[in-house]
Structure 1
Amino acid sequence: MKTTDSKIALVTGGSRGLGRNMAISLAQKGIDVILTYRNNKEKAEEVVNEIQSLGQQSAAFQLDTSDVNSFDTFIEELTEYLEEQNGSKTFDFLINNAGTALYSPFAETTEEQFDQAMNIHFKGVFFLTQKTLPFINDGGRIINISSGLARFSIPGSSAYASMKGAIEVLTKYLGQELGSRGIAANVVAPGAIETDFGNGHIRDNKEMNERVANMTALGRAGLPEDIGGVVAFLCTEEARWINGQRIEVSGGMNL
C-alpha cells in the first residue's frame, strides 16, 4: 500500500510522444502516474520504468479511447489498482491526451474517417471524463489536449481541428460545472511538434518542418519537451487559480 502523499495523475496515450513527456514531467514534479496505451505495451512499460526510477509509482493499462463500451472495464481495472496501491479508488489529475492524426482535405474526408476521429478526439474524451469524474478528488484538475489548429487553419485538418474546437468549448463547461468541487479544467494546445504523430509528419518531412519553422515566431518546430512541463505545471499548487483557459504552446505559430 502507498506510503507517501503523492498526488496521482492519469495520462491517456502516455506511451509515446507528447503523452510520454507529460507522464515523465509529472513524475519529476513528484506526482505518481498511471498511463494508458492502445497497442504498444512494451513502450508503455518503458515509461513506467522511467517514472519508477524517478521515485514515483506508475502503472500502464490498455485502453482504446475511441471505444466507449470499453470504459467501464477500464474504470474497474483502474480503481481496483488504485485501491490496492493506495487504499482509495480516487486520483487527482486527468490528462486527456490520446489521439491520432487525420490529414484529409474537407472535400475528400469520408464519414468513416470523421466518425473515427470524433470517437477518439471528442466522444471518447467526453465520456471517459464523465466516467472517471466520481473518482477524481475534489480540488483535482482536468487537462484536455487541443491543437493550434483550433485557432488557425492549415488545409487538410478540417475534421481534426473541428473536434479540437469542440474540446475547447467542453473544457470551459467543465471548468464552470465542476467549480463547486474545486476541480479546474484547462486546455493545452500544442503547435506542430516533432513526434511520430501522423507518421512523423512534422519530424521526418524536411519540407513540412521548414514550413512550420517559417510560420513560428521562435523559428522552429516544437519538441515534446516543450509541452510536458506545461501540463505538469497545471497540476501544481501554483496553477490552482487557472481555470477554463486555453494555453497555446506553439512558439508563436501564425501570430
Structure 2
Amino acid sequence: MVMQRLEGKTALVTGGSRGIGRAIAQRLAQDGALVVLTYVRDESAAHDTVERIRKDGGRALALHAPLGRRGDAAALWAAYDAEIPHHTPEPAVDIIVNNAGIGLSAGLTSLTEDGFDEVFAVNVRAPFFIVQQGLQRLRDGGRIINISSGAAHLAMPEAIAYGATKSALDNFTLNLAKELGARGITANSVAAGIIDTDVNAGWLRGNPEAEAHAASLAALGRVGRPEDVADIVAFLASHDARWVTGKVIDATGGSGL
C-alpha cells in the first residue's frame, strides 16, 4: 500500500481528465491529496476520472476551466473558491500542477500568427497567471510542478512553436524557484517524452512501425506511459523532494542521449 504522504494536502491539476493529467490526478489522490482537476471539453472524461478516484478511496472534484484567453486564470480560481469549501475546511492549495497544454505541428514557413498566439496562450500564459493569481492561496512549503517536454531541448523544426513554449515554461520554473524559495515553495518541471496517450493514439497505437520507432528513441527501449510521468510528479509533490527546486526532471526514458 502506498503511504498517504499527501494526506491533508490539496492539489490542482489542470487538464486532469485524460492522459498524463489523469494519471497525475489519480496518483496524487492515491497518495492522499484532495485533487481538483480541470477540463475544457470532455466533461464525461473528467467525471469518469473523478469517479475512478473516488472508487479507489480517494477524493477529487472536476472544474470546467478553459484556458488560453485573457481572464481564464481568474475564472479558474473563482470556480475553485466557489467549490472547494464544499470539500474541505481548508480552502488553500498546496500543489499546483500545470499540465494542460496543446501541441502544434507547424514549421517556420507554415506557422500562422493565430497558431503561434494560441499555443503560447495555453502553454505559457495560462500557467503564468494561474500561478500568479494562485499565490495568495498557495501555502508556504507548497509545490509548483510544470509539465514540460523533451522538445524544449531538442531541435524539432516541425514543432518549432511548441518547443519554444516548453522552453519558456522551463525558464518560468527557474524563476519561480528563485522568487518563491523564501516561502519554502519549490518549483520544478517534468519534461515528458513520447507518451502513449489519446493525443498520440492516431499515429502511435495500432502502428507497429511507429511504435517501434518511438521506442527506439528512448534509451530504455519503450514508449512512455502516463504513469511514468505521474510517479515523478508524485515525488516532486511530496516532502521527500523538499530540497529539489528550479530543475527540469527528464521523463523521456533517455531520449536523445
Q: TM-score range by the shorter chain?
A: over 0.9
Q: Distance in 2 between the 1:160 and 1:207 partners?
A: 25
**Which residue is equivalent to 1:54?**
56
Of 230, 241, 244, the match for 1:239: 241
Change (3 A) 1:20 1:41: same
Instruction: Provide the secondary structure at the position in 2 that maps to 1:30.
Output: coil
Q: Distance in 2 between the 1:52 and 1:103 partners?
A: 37
**Which residue is equivalent to 2:170?**
168
Change (3 A) 1:148 1:170: same
Q: Is the 8 A contact 1:187 1:245 kept in 2?
A: yes
Q: Does 1:148 align with 2:153?
A: no
Change (3 A) 1:156 1:205: farther
Q: Distance in 2 between the 1:148 and 1:202 partners?
A: 18
Q: Does 1:136 align with 2:138?
A: yes
Q: Distance in 1 between the 2:115 and 2:207 partners?
A: 23
Deviation readout 1:169-193 (Å, 9 max, x if unpaired): 1101000101111110000000111
Amino acid at match of 1:137: R
**Which residue is equivalent to 1:7?**
9
> Shift of residue 70 of structure 1?
2.8
Q: Distance in 1 between the 2:148 and 2:79 partners?
A: 27
Amino acid at match of 2:231: G
Equivalence map 1:1-255=2 (5 Å): 6-197=8-199, 200-203=202-205, 205-255=207-257
Q: Is the 8 A contact 2:156 2:163 kept in 1?
A: no
Q: Distance in 1 between the 2:74 and 2:255 partners?
A: 39
Q: Distance in 1 between the 2:19 and 2:190 partners?
A: 15
**Which residue is equivalent to 2:3?**
none
Amino acid at match of 1:235: A
Amino acid at match of 1:29: D
Change (3 A) 1:208 1:104: farther
CA RMSD in angstroms comes to 1.6
Q: Is the 8 A contact 2:65 2:75 kept in 1?
A: no
Instruction: Provide the secondary structure at the position in 2 that maps to 1:165.
Output: helix
Structure 2: gaps (5+ residues): 1-5
Q: Is the 8 A contact 1:217 1:251 kept in 2?
A: yes
Change (3 A) 1:96 1:163: same
Q: Is the 8 A contact 2:177 2:186 kept in 1?
A: yes
> Shift of residue 230 of structure 1?
0.7
TM-score of the superposition, structure 1-length normalised?
A: 0.94
> Shift of residue 204 of structure 1?
5.2
> Shift of residue 54 of structure 1?
2.6
Give percent identity, aligned residues only: 39
> Shift of residue 253 of structure 1?
0.4
Change (3 A) 1:101 1:205: farther
Query: How many correspondences in the alignment?
Result: 252
Q: Distance in 1 between the 2:203 and 2:152 partners?
A: 18
Instruction: Provide the secondary structure at the position in 2 that maps to 1:225.
Output: helix
Q: Is the 8 A contact 2:24 2:229 kept in 1?
A: yes
Q: Distance in 2 between the 1:201 and 1:63 partners?
A: 28
Q: Distance in 2 between the 1:196 and 1:212 partners?
A: 15
Amino acid at match of 1:86: T
Change (3 A) 1:204 1:196: farther
